[in-house]
């Protein structure tokens, strides 16, 4: 059963008197308890697409348009600002990439968790504090009754990430968006955070969108994968099918760049070239200037497809 349905979501920037499409008609469904990995190079539009569905864009020059973004049947694109604020932090939570930038340094950790609980659930100050202690316990903060009154700077990097997860989980959201949740953490702490997210999914049934550029993280945690390139989804499918049998040349290139696939080579493999500028896109497929298997249609028509947006999918080639 789908808890989140995203249909033709676009993010448009108005710049120098003209509109530039930064995220172009992204569509996907997220099932209850599913972890979806949203992958692609930096600048591919992963974070912007998720901020768009949350209507939490970083600039007033950006706007969202689309057919629908339904969370548990409610279309978020039809809500006014007050209605959307009631959804964000309540039914829809986000773990931001850098907890040091998103945890208020002047507020105690417990206050930051309890604030959302009081706002969205109408809990008393006492009940919200007790709930915050329980959430800190669930995310693995040792001695939560004592640590609840600490400030963010009194936590290590890994504990700050756990605190950020606790803030996002305070109101038991249906969907959790995790934006590069293991960036800048050492390997041991990274594994702990990924294990925590899996445990929370199993215990709470929360659905998760995992934004990452690391296919190793995706392989460990996700059920399905959506690959983005230059603001568009180019491939979407189950983790096992997509990693074992990629159909889009870009997906195959990303997999080939992983260290495990490059171990027999002197240098780490890369995809030649650079992603295009979104205000100067090539004709046809956006990947065609970098594609090793470009064909006649690739420079003429923009490919469409729910499973793979490619004129000549790898599985169809002789």
Q: How many whole angstroms separate alpha carbon 206 and alpha carbon 249?
A: 32
Q: For residue 115, what pLDDT is reported?
A: 92
Tens-binned pLDDT, residue by residue, of the chain (318 aa): 899 999 999 999 988 889 999 999 999 999 999 999 999 999 999 999 999 999 999 888 999 998 899 999 999 999 999 999 999 988 999 998 888 888 999 999 999 999 999 988 888 999 999 999 999 999 999 999 999 999 999 999 889 999 999 999 988 899 999 999 887 778 888 889 899 999 989 999 999 999 998 888 899 999 999 999 999 999 999 999 999 999 999 999 999 887 765 555 556 788 999 999 998 999 999 999 999 999 999 999 999 988 999 999 997 654
Q: For residue 15, what pLDDT is reported?
A: 81
The first and second tokens of residue 46, run together, are 């992963």
Q: How many whole angstroms separate alpha carbon 117 and alpha carbon 207?
A: 20
Helix/strand/coil for 74: strand
Q: For residue 263, what pLDDT is reported?
A: 52
Q: How does DSSP assign 164-193, residue by residue?
A: HHHHHHTT--SEEEEESTTTT--HHHHHHH
Q: Which domains does the chain have, with CATH numbers?
A: 1-81+215-318 (3.40.50.300)
Count of Cβ atoms closer than 10 Å to residue 185 Cβ:
18
* Alpha carbon of residue 301 to chain centroid: 29
The first and second tokens of residue 177, run together, are 């968006």
Q: For residue 315, what pLDDT is reported?
A: 74
Give the containing element (helix H, strand E) for 35.
Answer: strand 35-39
Q: For residue 318, what pLDDT is reported?
A: 44
Q: For residue 188, what pLDDT is reported?
A: 86
Reading phi first (left if > 0) and then psi (alpha if -120 to 50, else beta), residue 140 is in left
CA nearest neighbour of 207 among 241, 237, 169: 169
* Interaxial angle between packed helices 125-138 and 157-169, expressed in degrees from 0 to 180 and rounded to the nearest 10: 130
The first and second tokens of residue 107, run together, are 């507020």
């Amino acid at each position: 059963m789908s808890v989140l349905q995203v249909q033709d979501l676009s993010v448009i920037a108005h710049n120098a008197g003209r509109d530039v499409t930064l995220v172009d008609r992204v569509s996907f469904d997220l099932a209850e308890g599913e972890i979806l990995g949203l992958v692609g190079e930096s600048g591919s539009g992963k974070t912007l697409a998720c901020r768009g569905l949350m209507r939490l864009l970083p600039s007033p020059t950006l706007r969202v348009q689309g057919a629908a973004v339904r969370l548990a049947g409610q279309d978020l694109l039809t809500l006014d600002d007050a209605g959307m604020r009631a959804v964000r932090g309540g039914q829809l939570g986000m773990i931001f990439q850098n907890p040091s930038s998103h945890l208020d340094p002047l507020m105690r950790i417990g206050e930051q968790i309890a604030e959302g609980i009081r706002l969205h659930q109408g809990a008393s100050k006492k009940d919200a504090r007790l709930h915050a202690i329980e959430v800190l316990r669930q995310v693995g903060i040792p001695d939560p009754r004592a640590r609840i009154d600490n400030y963010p700077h009194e936590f290590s990097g890994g504990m700050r990430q756990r605190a950020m997860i606790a803030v996002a989980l305070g109101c038991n959201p249906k969907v959790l968006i995790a934006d590069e949740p293991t960036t800048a953490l050492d390997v041991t702490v990274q594994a702990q955070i990924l294990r925590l997210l899996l445990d929370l999914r199993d215990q709470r049934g929360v659905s998760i969108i995992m934004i990452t550029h690391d296919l190793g993280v995706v392989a460990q945690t996700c059920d399905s994968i959506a690959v983005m390139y230059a603001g568009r989804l180019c491939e979407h499918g189950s983790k096992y099918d997509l990693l074992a049998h990629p159909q889009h040349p870009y997906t195959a290139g990303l997999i080939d760049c992983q260290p495990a696939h490059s171990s027999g080579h002197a240098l780490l493999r890369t995809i030649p070239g650079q992603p295009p500028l979104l205000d100067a896109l090539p004709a046809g497929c956006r990947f065609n200037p970098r594609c090793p298997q470009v064909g006649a249609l690739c420079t003429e028509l923009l490919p469409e497809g729910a499973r793979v947006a490619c004129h000549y999918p790898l599985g169809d080639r002789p």
